[in-house]
């Protein structure tokens, strides 16, 4: 979607994809190679004036080696390499936030026999993989020493952190941008996660802009970042995590009438002035892969035909696995939440052939 935004502005793009049938390569020339292979990453840095990321899993050390291999400066990469190195290690990320005085759950490295982590965090405890987690795939809960011990095969390698379990009132998220041309935020949105996966993003009355900007500054951010926050009953806000890229909680901006996060991102990457941030209240619901799903175009028609204001985005991923983010729906206006959820119900019902309509969530 960043490529689509760049192309609209006349920019030519080159993607690096791990396989030939990735969504980016359907709309742009692409190199095929491993995202952790210095040679493959060097191919992008040798051919592109500016380079950006759509996930945080390319190791910062690989990028550094690739830059060196082709004699390029770090400044051709947005987000900043320093912020990527911190963010992609959840432990370094927490340390940077603590050092800057940005509130978050108490956290500890899980090392050795885990006793120090237990002493600092106690139970209930949230365990998170330091590297590579997404959609909750690196997140586990332990409510007792026994449960903690049962997860030893995960944390035993020292690659996990422990966090205090936050009894939040709600989860919110803010898209933040920081460049030399200016800094700012998109509106604060409420987010709903089911089984750790975001399913609904909707307008809300909270304002997380200050803490979100503080968080991105704490990791040396330059570019566009998504900041996930917990709001407590008291109204206090805690940072859950930062993503150094356009974020699922900013997908609503594709249809809100103002600049999309992707256009904004491309402006930041190419040193153009950020756009004024303004748009209509919009709700986004994710379309997740369903067991037994058939033709997605039946879902598309069922979502749109009864409510033509529904906007469907489908990513063109080659494989639909249960729970995988395959697309999303946006609806603008005062009744956007109900209409977006109703459109998703229709989509799923038609897609899986009316057999197992998932419960509405969020």
Residues that bind ligand ATP (CB under 6 A): 105, 126, 128, 133-139, 163, 165-166, 171, 193, 196, 228, 240-241
Our CB check for ligand ATP shows the closer of 121 and 283 to be 121
**Residue number with CB closer to ligand ATP (136 or 159):** 136
* H-run or E-run covering 17: strand 15-17
* Per-residue x/- track, 227-256, Mg ion (CB under 5 A): -x----------------------------
| Window of 9-17, 53-61, 140-148, 225-233 that interacts with Mg ion by CB under 5 A | 225-233
Give the one entry of ligand ATP, Mg ion, none that residue 231 binds, where binding means its C-beta sits below a cut-off of 5 to 8 angstroms depending on kind.
none
Query: What burial class does residue 279 get, using C-beta atoms within 10 Å of its C-beta: 0-12 exposed, 13-18 middle, 19+ buried?
Result: middle
Minimum gap (Å) between residue 191 Cβ and Mg ion = 9
CA-CA distance, 277 to 344, in Å (whole number)? 27
> Which option in Mg ion, ligand ATP, none does residue 301 bind, with CB closer than 5 to 8 A by kind?
none
* Whole-Å CA distances, 4 to 110, 269, 328: 41, 14, 16
What is the rounded CA–CA span in Å between residue 175 and residue 319? 29
The HSE-up count of residue 353 (CA atoms within 13 Å, CB side) is 5
Report the nearest approach of Mg ion to the CB of residue 196 (Å): 8
Nearer to ligand ATP, 123 or 134 (CB): 134
Residue pair 164/122 in contact (Cβ under 8 Å)? The answer is yes
Q: Output the smallest distance, CB 171 to ligand ATP, in A.
A: 6
CA dihedral (101, 107, 112, 115) positive or negative: positive
Query: Which does residue 193 touch among Mg ion, ligand ATP, none (CB within 5 to 8 A, set by kind)?
Result: ligand ATP
Instruction: Say if CB 237 and CB 208 are below 8 A apart.
Output: yes
Sign of the four-CA dihedral 46, 47, 52, 56? negative
Number of residues that bind Mg ion (CB under 5 A): 1
Residues that bind Mg ion (CB under 5 A): 228
């Amino acid at each position: 979607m960043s490529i689509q935004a760049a192309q609209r502005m006349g920019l030519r793009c080159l993607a690096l994809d791990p396989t030939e049938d990735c969504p980016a390569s359907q709309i742009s020339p692409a190199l095929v190679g491993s995202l952790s292979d210095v040679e493959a990453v060097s191919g992008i840095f040798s051919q592109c004036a500016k380079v950006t990321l759509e996930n945080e899993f390319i190791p910062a050390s690989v990028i550094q080696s690739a830059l060196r291999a082709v004699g390029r400066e770090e400044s051709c990469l947005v987000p900043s390499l320093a912020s990527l190195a911190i963010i992609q290690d959840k432990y370094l990320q927490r340390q940077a936030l603590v050092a800057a005085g940005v509130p978050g759950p108490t956290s500890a490295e899980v090392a050795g026999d885990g006793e120090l982590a237990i002493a600092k965090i106690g139970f209930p405890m949230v365990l998170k993989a330091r590297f590579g987690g997404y959609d909750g795939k690196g997140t586990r809960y332990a409510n007792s020493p026994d449960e903690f011990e049962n997860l030893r095969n995960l944390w035993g390698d020292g690659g996990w952190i422990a966090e205090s379990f936050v009894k939040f009132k709600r989860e919110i998220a803010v898209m933040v941008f920081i460049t030399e041309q200016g800094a700012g935020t998109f509106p604060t949105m409420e987010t709903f996660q089911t089984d750790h996966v975001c399913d609904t993003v909707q307008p809300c009355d909270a304002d997380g802009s200050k803490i979100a900007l503080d968080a991105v500054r704490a990791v040396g951010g330059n570019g566009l970042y998504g900041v996930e926050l917990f709001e407590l009953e008291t109204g206090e806000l805690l940072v859950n995590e930062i993503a150094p890229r356009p974020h699922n909680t900013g997908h609503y901006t594709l249809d809100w009438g103002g600049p999309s996060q992707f256009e904004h991102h491309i402006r930041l990457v190419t040193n153009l002035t950020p756009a004024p941030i303004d748009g209509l209240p919009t709700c986004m619901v994710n379309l997740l892969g369903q067991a037994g799903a058939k033709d997605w175009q039946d879902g598309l028609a069922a979502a749109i035909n009864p409510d033509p204001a529904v906007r469907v985005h489908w990513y063109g991923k080659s494989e639909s696995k249960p729970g995988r983010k395959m697309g999303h729906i946006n609806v603008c206006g005062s009744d956007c939440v109900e209409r977006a959820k109703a459109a998703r119900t229709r989509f799923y019902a038609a897609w899986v052939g009316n057999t197992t309509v998932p419960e509405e969530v969020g």
